[in-house]
Structure 1
């Protein structure tokens, strides 16, 4: 790993956060993976909050030693956490994706009620976008977010699924369609819904092939009411909020992919150098060193693309101007994680598909989610091509 785009401050921060996670997360990683222990997850979240690491994205409330904290450092945190346990990293990445629109678009009252506890590690948040008939196509959302002028409340009705932190989050950022009003056109609206709001329920949690310990499920809203002040941004303006959130999320997922890829690569390198077959080290075989070389260059390429996007964001570039680069970071890093996890299992052979011989099989299962969550690889390619073919209306 060359970390060409990182400076000495960034590297020192990586060393600091790596040591922290080795103390706090590594001893609990097996408990999270094998027993899906939410108490273990919460304990590490709380430690991260107390240490100030959940404030990296928010310079105005940051209290640490970095002179200019930002997305680069949040992505380093994501990378180092995912290298140890991707399920845990999903929990904090989701909480930060919830904190992002709260920080930028919520009223002061809502920020105090929900943002502060997330940043302190005392609470976690969730983002409610995906539905049974809408995922990447946010324009197809069926959930309704409508204003009741009689009671001065927003009323939410709908079902969201594949929601990370469902049932355990303390606040949910809900995106839904709002009909046209006297002073507004039809569009998407976002509101903050606390866990104890009347009308919110959690029909079921899902069982996934990987990311064990990360709680993912459904969130249902039946005439769920929240105060008018829980609106984020302006009525019907949530596409803009969502776009900024997705840029943030996709860069963070670049870090997630890098962490998983790095862990898999370390296992493959060790095995290639120590395992003997046909009288010599396995890594002497052309088919093996070809796999090692391909993993190596893909990781370096993913790192450069990911931290290019974070450095651009930290330089003040966001919105449509960052959409392509954030999508590239997510695409390349998560595809790299899948490639490295697959090749590592193949290099290890039988040892790669058993839990008794290390984490290779876990990384293989965990990596598969990366090219789906936060926008599929196919959606990332669309976003990239839409910038490179600006005069065409690309047919999804």
Structure 2
């Protein structure tokens, strides 16, 4: 790995993170994958919180040795965690996506109540956007958020699905409509909802082909009430909060994809140099070395795009100015993860399909989610094209 956009401080940080994850996550990987042990995940989250790694995005709250912590370092953390276990990485990435709006838009009392436990690793967060008819197109959102002046509370009614950390999170950032006429995105509002709020329910969790151990499910709100001060930002200002959160999430997913791709690549190259076929090492076969070369240049491309986006964010570039670069990072890294996972299974042959001969089949199943979660590859291409075709309106 070239890590061309990283400096010696970043490389030292990466080595430190690897050591911590090898100590805390690696011994629990089988518990997470085979037994879907949520407590194993919680123990590692707590260890990362104690190490200060969940504060990297919030410099004034960070207490570690880095002089300028930021998204670059949070992405390194996600990359190294995904290298070992993408299901676990999903849990912390979602918690950080929840922490982002709390840090930037919650009032001080609410921020301290919900944000600090997440950063300490003693609490888990979740984001509630997706609905039955809402995925990438957030304009179709049907969840309603009304204000009850008599009780000074927000009242939420709606149904969210495919929510990472559903039922196990301690606080949920919920997006819904407070203005029900005109453009839906103009009337969107974000609210912090604790798990203990009356009217919040968790109908079921889903079973996925991959990311075993990561809990994903449904969250339903039936006259769910939270105090007025749990509003994030301003009423009808939720869409702007969501856009900023998505840039952050897409860059983090670039790290996720990069970690999964590297994990697959290392398995493939080790096998190609060890396995003998027709009197030669497998890697001597042209069709195999072609696969290795394609994986290699795709990983380098993904790395450059991912850390370009994080460097831009850490330099103060965000919003629409970062939308293209963050989308490119997410698109290229997650597509690369899928490519590498597929080619690794092919290179390993029968060994790539079995649990008995390594992790290739797990990585193959895990990687498939990456081009869907956090906005599909198709949506990423749309956002890129919007910047490249500024003088025409391209519609969905």
Shorter-chain TM-score above 0.5 = yes
- Which residue does the alignment assign to 1:149? 149
Q: Structure 2 CA distance, aligned partners of 1:209 and 1:180?
A: 37
Q: How many angstroms does 1:150 deviate by?
A: 1.4
Q: Are the counterparts in 1 of residues 345 and 361 from structure 2 also a CA contact under 8 Å?
A: yes
Equivalent positions of 1:304-315 (< 5 A) are 304-315=304-315
3-state SS, counterpart of residue 378 of structure 2: helix
3-state SS, counterpart of residue 18 of structure 1: helix
Q: Are the counterparts in 2 of residues 265 and 340 from structure 1 also a CA contact under 8 Å?
A: yes
Q: How many angstroms does 1:178 deviate by?
A: 1.1
Q: Are the counterparts in 2 of residues 166 and 218 from structure 1 also a CA contact under 8 Å?
A: yes
**1:395 aligned onto 2:395:** yes
Q: Structure 1 CA distance, aligned partners of 2:139 and 2:385?
A: 19
- Structure 1: 4+ residue segments shifted above 3 A: none
- Which residue does the alignment assign to 2:379? 379
3-state SS, counterpart of residue 191 of structure 2: strand
**1:107 aligned onto 2:107:** yes
**1:354 aligned onto 2:361:** no
**1:325 aligned onto 2:311:** no
Q: Structure 2 CA distance, aligned partners of 1:197 and 1:59?
A: 30
- Which residue does the alignment assign to 2:245? 245
- Which residue does the alignment assign to 1:284? 284
Q: Are the counterparts in 1 of residues 55 and 62 from structure 2 also a CA contact under 8 Å?
A: yes
Q: Are the counterparts in 1 of residues 186 and 239 from structure 2 also a CA contact under 8 Å?
A: no
Q: Are the counterparts in 1 of residues 186 and 237 from structure 2 also a CA contact under 8 Å?
A: no
Equivalent positions of 1:177-256 (< 5 A) are 177-179=177-179, 187-256=187-256
- Which residue does the alignment assign to 2:48? 48
Q: Structure 2 CA distance, aligned partners of 1:79 and 1:113?
A: 29
Q: TM-score, normalised by structure 1?
A: 0.98
- Which residue does the alignment assign to 2:118? 118
How big is each residue's C-alpha offset from its partner over 1:152-176, in whole Å with a ceiling of 9 and x where there is no partner?
Answer: 1111000000000000000000000
Q: How many angstroms does 1:87 deviate by?
A: 0.1
**1:11 aligned onto 2:7:** no
3-state SS, counterpart of residue 196 of structure 2: coil
Q: Structure 2 CA distance, aligned partners of 1:215 and 1:261?
A: 22
Q: Are the counterparts in 1 of residues 202 and 217 from structure 2 also a CA contact under 8 Å?
A: yes
3-state SS, counterpart of residue 356 of structure 1: coil
Q: Structure 2 CA distance, aligned partners of 1:35 and 1:307?
A: 34
- Which residue does the alignment assign to 2:366? 366
Q: How many angstroms does 1:180 deviate by?
A: 5.9
Q: How many angstroms does 1:79 deviate by?
A: 0.1
- Which residue does the alignment assign to 2:163? 163
Q: How many angstroms does 1:186 deviate by?
A: 5.4
- Residue ranges of structure 1 left out of the alignment (5+ in a row): none
Q: TM-score, normalised by structure 2?
A: 0.98
How big is each residue's C-alpha offset from its partner over 1:301-343, in whole Å with a ceiling of 9 and x where there is no partner?
Answer: 0000000000000000001100000000000000000000000
Q: Structure 2 CA distance, aligned partners of 1:315 and 1:62?
A: 18
Q: Are the counterparts in 1 of residues 86 and 211 from structure 2 also a CA contact under 8 Å?
A: yes
Q: CA RMSD in A?
A: 1.1
Equivalent positions of 1:21-170 (< 5 A) are 21-170=21-170
- Residue ranges of structure 2 left out of the alignment (5+ in a row): none
Q: Are the counterparts in 2 of residues 180 and 186 from structure 1 also a CA contact under 8 Å?
A: no
Q: How many angstroms does 1:149 deviate by?
A: 1.2
3-state SS, counterpart of residue 357 of structure 1: coil
Aligned residue pairs, count? 394
Q: How many angstroms does 1:53 deviate by?
A: 0.4
Q: Structure 2 CA distance, aligned partners of 1:204 and 1:234?
A: 32
Q: Structure 1 CA distance, aligned partners of 2:365 and 2:393?
A: 36
3-state SS, counterpart of residue 243 of structure 1: helix
Q: How many angstroms does 1:60 deviate by?
A: 0.8
How big is each residue's C-alpha offset from its partner over 1:353-390, in whole Å with a ceiling of 9 and x where there is no partner?
Answer: 00000000000000000000000000000000000001
3-state SS, counterpart of residue 64 of structure 2: coil
